[in-house]
Amino acid sequence: QVQLVESGGGLVQPGGSLRLSCTASGFTLDYYAIGWFRQAPGKEREGVSCISVSSGSTYYADSVKGRFTISRDHAKNTAYLQMNSLKPEDTAVYYCATDIDAGADPKLIEYEYDFWGQGTQVTVSS
């Protein structure tokens, strides 16, 4: 079965950290750029971060720059989003997605991503 599965979400206090994982099954992530997106209640889905196939290029939304780090492990067929210094406004469902055409210069343009996971909830609250 071909799927992307996000994990690692949960409830964390402000200032805390979480690491999200995005694992592919049934296919290899080796040829895909990976993007992380999030959707808060009542808001549009927004791009958070993305990483190229080689990990040579990464991009972050201004709202998470300096706090979040994207990475990938080809051997584990998994991408990660390390989230530090979490704020209540980071509360959202987080999704990972793949883009086969991004090459070395991925962007956080939602319609360019063609395969999505089901999402994992992140709640930042005291």
Task: Give the pLDDT confidence of 68-115 residue by residue, as tens digits.
Answer: 999 999 999 999 999 999 999 999 999 999 998 877 889 999 999 999
Position 36 scores a pLDDT of 98
Contact 50, 34 (CB under 8 A): yes
Q: What does the block give as tokens for 90?
A: 């980071």
Work out the end-to-end distance of the chain between its first and last CA atoms, rounded to an integer number of angstroms.
38
Position 55 scores a pLDDT of 85
Position 98 scores a pLDDT of 96
From residue 8, alpha-carbon distances to 18, 98, 100, 102, 106 in Å are 7, 19, 25, 26, 24
Confidence category of residue 1, pLDDT binned at 50, 70, 90: confident
pLDDT in tens, 22-40: 999 999 999 999 999 999 9
Position 123 scores a pLDDT of 98
From residue 31, alpha-carbon distances to 13, 26, 27 in Å are 36, 14, 10
Position 102 scores a pLDDT of 78
